[in-house]
Amino acid sequence: MKQKLISALLPVTALVLAGCTASPSATDYDKATADILKNSFQDRGIAKVDRLVQDEANRECAAADVAGKPIDEKVAKAIEAANMKTVKWPSDGKFLGDWKEGEKIAQSGRGLTWRDKADDANGGNCYNCHQISKEEISFGTLGPSLYNYGKLRGVTDPNAAASKAIVEYTWGKMYNARAYNACSQMPRAGHKGILNEKQMQHVMALLLDPASPVNK
């Protein structure tokens, strides 16, 4: 009975400690954690276990958090450079779409969970973390306020040469936030396929179009 029980459960920890006589090191704990992660999750719907495969950025940032120390400067720069390379500029050269659609995308938190379907339109999740328009009081504080985003940066005409730097930064940040901040908590909307090009253009308009309520 006991045999059956143990095999039915996940005796990862027992295996790891079997060979240890001295107290475990940080590396031992890291290995045990990796094994636990591997054994604890299963595919469900569109959410597959390969989502746990970490890229360089996630691995380094998590390690820094566990150590309680900020990430090494050189490593941070390398992560930012690597992520910058992933940024794809709009294929039609247009940075801004329709701010009304942008507001809908910012409000929506749908998509990519195991309850969603592969062809569902994903939302941007933006209001979960950010204040954006003045009217919407249900906003989170995990990210900085984006109210008056374009106005505060002096963008009166998004197509003018003077606005180019801000427009490109905003697109890049949305496409892959880690290109500017190695361990940013902001999801990489473009790079990870959360939002498509058209959706990103709409959110850009929400932030930068002088006609958008965000800049009123």
Partner 1 sequence: MKRHLLALTAVGAVLAQGQAWAQDATAEGIAKYREMLEDGNPAELFEMKGEELWAQKRGPKNATLEQCDLGLGPGVLKGAFVQMPRYFKDTGRVQDLESRLLTCMETLQGFNAEEIRKTPFRRGEMANLTALATYVAAQSKGMRFNLPQAHPQEKLMYEAGKRIFFTRGGTHDFSCASCHGADDKRIRLQDLPNLTKNPGDGIGFAAWPAYRVSNSQMWGMQLRLNDCFRQQRFPEPKFGSDATIALGVYMGVNAKTAESIVPAIKR
| Closest CB to partner 1 among residues 98, 110 | 110
Q: Which long-range contacts (CB under 8 A, 24 or more apart) does 195-200 make?
A: 195/105, 195/122, 195/124, 197/88, 197/90, 197/91, 198/97, 199/101, 199/105, 199/121, 199/122, 199/124, 200/90, 200/171, 200/174, 200/175
Interacting residues with partner 1 between 138 and 167 (CB under 8 A): 138-142
**By CB under 8 A, which span of 94-102, 155-163, 190-198, 206-214 interacts with partner 1?**
190-198
Please state, in angstroms and rounded to a whole number, the distance separating the CA atoms of residues 6 and 4: 6
| Closest CB to partner 1 among residues 46, 166 | 46
**By CB under 8 A, which span of 72-80, 95-103, 106-114, 154-162 interacts with partner 1?**
106-114
How far does the chain reach from its first CA to its final CA, in angstroms?
Answer: 70
| List of residues contacting partner 1 (CB under 8 A) | 1-2, 5-6, 8-14, 16-17, 20, 23-24, 29-30, 32-33, 36-37, 39-44, 47-49, 51-54, 57-58, 61-62, 65-66, 112-115, 125, 127-129, 134, 137-142, 178, 185, 187-188, 192-194
